Amino acid sequence: MQAGKNATGTAKETAANLTATAKSGMDKTKATVDGKMENMKAHDTAQKEMATKTTAEKNQINMANTREKMEKRGNDSAMQLI
C-alpha cells in the first residue's frame, strides 16, 4: 500500500513540476514578445536604443525562472510531507 502512495505522490509532483515549467515558459515567451513589440513600435533611433536596452524583459524572464524554481521546491516539500 505504501508503494502505491509513493507512486501517486511522485506522479502528482511530476505533474506539478510540468505545470510550473509550462507556466514559466509562457511567461518567458510573453516577456520576449513584449520586448520585441516595444522595439518594433519605436520610430526613431533613440527610442529603439531605449527599447533594446530595457531591462524589464530580462527581469520578467528572471522572475519566471525564480517562480518556477520556487514552485518546484514547494512541490518537493509537499512530497516529503506525504
Give the pLDDT confidence score for residue 55 in this predicted structure: 61
The per-residue pLDDT for 38 is: 79
Return the pLDDT at 78: 66
Contact by Cβ (8 Å): 23, 68: yes
> Going residue by residue through the chain (82 aa), what tens digit of pLDDT does each one get?
455 567 777 888 888 888 888 888 888 888 788 878 877 887 887 777 776 666 666 777 788 888 888 888 877 776 666 5
pLDDT at position 65, please? 81
Instruction: Quote the domain boundaries for residue 67.
Output: 2-81
| pLDDT confidence of residue 1 | 47
Q: What is each CA distance from 38 to 13, 27, 34, in whole angstroms?
A: 37, 16, 6
Number of domains, the chain: 1
SS3 state of residue 26: helix
Structural contact between residues 64 and 28, judged by C-beta atoms closer than 8 angstroms: yes
The pLDDT of residue 53 is 66
